[in-house]
Each structure stands twice: as C-alpha cells, then as structure tokens.
Amino acid sequence: MNRYGHIVRLEHPADFETFRRMARRLVAAGISSHRVLWTTRDDAQGVLATMVPAQTLPEPSATDAPRAPRRFVELARLVACHSAADRYILLHRLLERFQKEPRLLSIATDADVARATTLAQNVRRCAHKMKAFVRFRTTRDRDGAERFVAWFEPEHHVLDLVADFFVGRFAAMRWSIVTPERSAHWDGATLIVAGGASREIAPDGDIHEDLWRTYFGAIFNPARLNVRAMTSEMPKRYWTNLPEAALIQPLIRQATARAGAMMAAPATAPARSTRPARARREAESRSRSLAANINSLDDIAEAAAGCTRCPLYRDATQVVMGEGRPGAAIMFVGEQPGDQEDLAGRPFVGPAGRLLNRALQDAGIERADTFVTNAVKHFKFEVRGKRRIHKSPNAGEIEHCRVWLDHERRLVRPKVTVALGASAARTLAGHPLAVGRNRGTPLTWADGSAGFLTVHPSALLRLADAEAKRAEYRHFVDDLAAVRTMIATVTPKH
C-alpha cells in the first residue's frame, strides 16, 4: 500500500525553487514530511497518479506562511544539489521543525542539522572539483562557429550551482558542459540550462590536448610527490575525463628515480636574460668588487648602492648612507632611514633628525662635528593609504647590513659610538640589549670600542603627554651631554 499522500514533481534533481515553493504550502497545510514524495518522475498512468499533487495546495497567506532563518535557505540551496535520495524529505522536516524550534540551526549536535551540514559540505567540495576538472574540447556548431564542449560526471547535481562561474570565467567563448542529468550552454550572451545527455555528444579529444599533456608532464615535480594528497585533491573518479590522466600513473612510477637524478645533478644558476635582470646582475657584481676594495666613505656609498643582501632594496627609493666628518669623535647610529630620509638620500633629515639637531645644540654638540648613520641602510615600510609607515627591521636584515656599518666605523674611527635605540644597540653589541637598563652609562661594544646607549629621538615624538615629552627631552639632552663629557676620557680604538 502506498504510504505517501502527496507528491511533488521537480523539474530536475536540483530544483530548489520548486522545493521552496511547495514546502511552504505543505508545511502551512500541516502535511508531514513522511507523507510527501519528492520526485522528478512523470508516471501519470502508474501509482504516482493516485497521489495528490502538492501544486494543488493553496499558497499560504503572509500570516500562515512558515518561517525559516536566512541561513537555512542558503543551506537548503546546497543540500538540494546533493545526490542523497532523502535530501528533500530532510529539508522538509527541518522546515517543519523551525516552526517550533526557531534556533534549531544553532544546535550542531542535532541529527538533522548535522546531516544537512554534511551534505552541504559534500556539495561545496563537488562544486570545487567541477570547477577544477572540467576539460573543454574544441568542436564546431552547425553554423561553423567554434564551440568548446566538456563532458563531466559530477558526484552530485552541482551544474546549476556552478554554471555562473563558467560564464564569468569564459564569457567570450561559446561553450557547453554536458552531464548525465543537466547540460549548460552559453552562446556569449545567454545561458541555457536544460536536460542531460549521453557521453557521445562530447568530442573525444582535440588538437590542443597533446600540448596540454606536455605542459602537465613538464610541471610535475617528482621531488614533491605525495600520492595521498594528490588523490585527495584529484580523486580517481574524475580521471576518466581528464586528458592528462594517462600520464599520472607513469609519472608516479618514475618519481623516485627522477627525484634522485635531480638531487644528483649539479646546481645551475637560474636563467636571467631580461634587461632588468642583467642590470641587477651587473650592479651586484660591481658591488662585490667595490666591497672588496673600500678605502673611503665614497667607496662605501658606491658599493652599497648596488647592495641586494636583503629584500629591503626592492621597495626602498635608494640606499641611505651615513654622513658627517671623517675622524669625528662621536658617531650616532640609528635604526634605519625614515620616509623623508629615503626620498632625500640623507640620514636624520626628517622630524626625528630635526629633534636630534635641537638636542645636540642644547647639549653643546655641533652636528657638523659628528657622524650620523643607521644600522640598516634601506627604508622598511608598509603602505597605509597614501602613507608609508615605518616597520622595524628584523634580526636578519640588521645582520645583512652590518658590513656597511662596520666599514663606516673603521674609516671614521670615532672615540664613542652612540646607539640610538634597541636596533642600533643590537647591531653594535652583537646581541639584544635593553635600552631601559643600559641607558646613560658607558658601554663597550662587541669589537671592544667605547659605546653609549640612549633612546632614538623618534621615541620622544611618539609621546602624547606634553609634560612627559618635555621630561624625556631633558633626559635625552642629559644623555648627549654625558657623551660630550665622555669623549674627553676615551682613546679611539685602532
């Protein structure tokens, strides 16, 4: 005996819109989900003809219409694309339950919610696979126009779900995607989704597939082969319709031998044939040659101009070397150039530099009698809107730039090298050095030379409280005055 009382005939297996319309009528009429048959069959002469079509039920009024959260509509649209035979019964039952359990979707452990969520995840995964594994082949329409046709056998009914993706991706092409249940056709202006067809409608291959297989074989990296990961991303059920599938097993079998040959082969330099690459290679070569024969500050500047020791050179406007008097008694070392220094090509010319000049004057030191430079010679920044915001260099960038500071110190030979902030102190000490604990007292740097540590002037600029800023400025001036006193007692290290 037929246990169903009502029947809903869907236009196709993923006919969500018909489900949505009919489910509202069924729930409003109080017809239980276990009394409804959802089908795409047309059986006017058979047992289905004895059931009441849901289409005959009245449309519910605004007050009688069942309610469901927006999340359920999105979830149901995906679940309707699944191949599970009971998917519409499940969705019907969930809609019934929402009328008394409006927060049902928040109960992840509920059996119906958990199953619907799993079905939706399966559909998303299948849609992703379809986008990745559809392979078009060239053919001709009756009018002689070029058309690209693909045969695909998805695990679930996802063609309607992904058709718009292919329209956006291949808008200028005329194409058709054929599956057993549904077919999508695009003529450059209109998308038509209709019934399915058989495999014979799609061509077996085209002139481009040998080229595609050559490319696939060329990019296959045997050293990175992970068969489990590969078959997870490219399940074997899709291999039948992939032209490159014939290569997969041979490539897997040869992978161990090919990886061993790659490891045994001598290293080769990458090809660098473009004009910028040639210019960069020449600059690097000139920089290495100059760095081996540095005898003046001008030599340092010329050699550092082609420095590519760390990636900072790629975004900076130019290298910013130190400036001042050779033989200066005091050398000030900051962290790195700022925005204005990067543009001008000179150190300490921005707001922090102007504050340093004022503090030096108040401490009785002429900047012209000093040498000012930075631990890192390129500006490191991040873009925010139209501004370039300073970013602190990391330990590797500081270490790569140490060679230029070492040359500057060797040629200037200051009595005292003053570190302005923690980055400069790390460079000179060879290890992290806390500013708060070591500020204001004579130090000995890693090379045995006399040193002193104070704050970077930019730290004063960041203080918001006016009184704190004045007090910290006085402290900074006192530090500089202590350096002026210190140089009278220090013999420069030769």
- pLDDT tens for 176-228 read 999 999 999 999 999 999 988 888 777 777 667 778 788 888 888 888 888 88
Q: Are 251 and 221 in contact (CB under 8 A)?
A: no
Q: How far apart are CA 386 and CA 364, in angstroms?
A: 39
Whether the per-residue pLDDT at 377 is higher than 80: the answer is: yes
Q: What is the DSSP code (8-state) at residue 206? A: -
Q: What is the mean pLDDT of residues 296-314?
A: 87
Q: What are the Cα distances from residue 215, in Å, to 206, 208, 209, 253, 276?
A: 15, 11, 10, 19, 28
> 178-187, 276-285, 393-402: lowest mean pLDDT where?
276-285
- Class for domain 277-489, per CATH? alpha beta
Confidence tier at 1 by pLDDT (50, 70, 90): very low
Which residues are within 8 A (CB) of 397 and not within 5 positions of it... i.e. 6 or more apart? 310, 312, 376, 380
Delimit the CATH 3.40.470.10 region(s) of the chain.
277-489
| Digit-coded pLDDT (tens) for 20-79 | 999 999 999 999 998 899 998 765 455 565 567 777 888 888 888 999 999 999 999 999
Confidence of residue 157 (pLDDT cuts 50, 70, 90): very high
Higher pLDDT, 275 or 21: 21
Query: What's residue 492's pLDDT?
Result: 62
Task: Please say if the pLDDT value at position 279 is more than 80.
Answer: no
pLDDT-based confidence at 356, cuts 50/70/90?
A: very high
Give the other-Cβ count within 10 Å of 361's Cβ.
13
pLDDT of 286: 66
Higher pLDDT, 356 or 207: 356
Q: Which two tokens mark 121?
A: 């995840």
Per-residue pLDDT band for 232 (boundaries 50, 70, 90) equals confident
Instruction: Judge whether residue 411 has pLDDT over 80.
Output: yes
Instruction: Tell which residue, 228, 218, 209, 212, has the closest CA to residue 251.
Output: 218
8 Å CB contact between 78 and 124: yes
Residue at 129: amino acid letter: K
Asked if 37 and 8 touch (Cβ cutoff 8 Å), the reply is yes
